[in-house]
């Protein structure tokens, strides 16, 4: 399977205010929990009604508690959700989650400062700053 989220991937998936990857470290335990949840998700039949909120929950584990866990979990979950949906809707569920999981890792190493142009979730961002 393509799930390659290794134990070394212990940095935050969040984005700083200037659009750079956060790279704050995350507790190993949190990452592990997240990986487990993704693995569980991959073994279950997909329910697109709950998928997004599930992914948002899981996303928390990949965000630093200091800055992004509260603020970007929904955003990250939404991104994953869209990635799953976009990558072909209903077919082949398990591999979709696997793809998302490996995407997380790729995202961390490859992401540049290229902003994502129109993120719908951003518009509803709370003013927690």
Tokens of 76: 């990250």
Name the residue among 53, 68, 89, 77 with its Cα closest to residue 22: 68
**Contact flag: residue 102 with Zn ion (CB under 5 A):** no
Q: Which helix (H) or strand (E) holds 78?
A: helix 68-86
The three-state secondary structure class of 82 is: helix
Residue 109 CB, shortest distance to Zn ion, in Å, is 16
Sites for Zn ion among residues 36-55 (CB under 5 A): none
- How remote is the C-alpha of 11 from its chain's centroid? 12
What x-and-dash track marks residues 2-21 binding Zn ion by CB under 5 A? ----------x-x-------
Among 51, 64, 101, 104, binds Zn ion (CB under 5 A): 64
Strand ranges (E), the chain:
none
- Return the number of the residue (35 or 108) whose C-beta is nearest Zn ion: 108
Number of shown-chain residues binding Zn ion (CB under 5 A) = 7
Residue 72 CB, shortest distance to Zn ion, in Å, is 7
Q: Can you count the helices (H) and strands (E) in the chain? A: 4, 0
Q: Write down the residue that tokens 């335990």 correspond to.
A: 29
Among 35, 68, 80, 97, binds Zn ion (CB under 5 A): 68
Residues in contact with Zn ion by the rule CB under 5 A: 12, 14, 22, 24, 64, 67-68
């Amino acid at each position: 399977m393509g799930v390659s989220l290794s134990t070394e991937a212990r940095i935050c998936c969040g984005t700083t205010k200037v659009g750079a990857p956060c790279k704050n470290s995350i507790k190993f335990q949190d990452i592990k929990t997240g990986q487990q949840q993704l693995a569980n998700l991959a073994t279950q039949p997909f329910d697109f009604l709950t998928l997004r909120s599930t992914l948002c929950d899981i996303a928390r584990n990949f965000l630093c508690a200091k800055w992004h866990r509260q603020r970007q979990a929904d955003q990250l979950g939404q991104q994953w959700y869209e990635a799953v949906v976009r990558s072909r809707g209903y077919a082949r569920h398990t591999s979709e989650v696997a793809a998302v999981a490996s995407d997380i890792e790729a995202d961390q190493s490859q992401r540049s400062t290229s902003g994502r142009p129109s993120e719908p979730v951003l518009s509803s961002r709370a003013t927690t700053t």
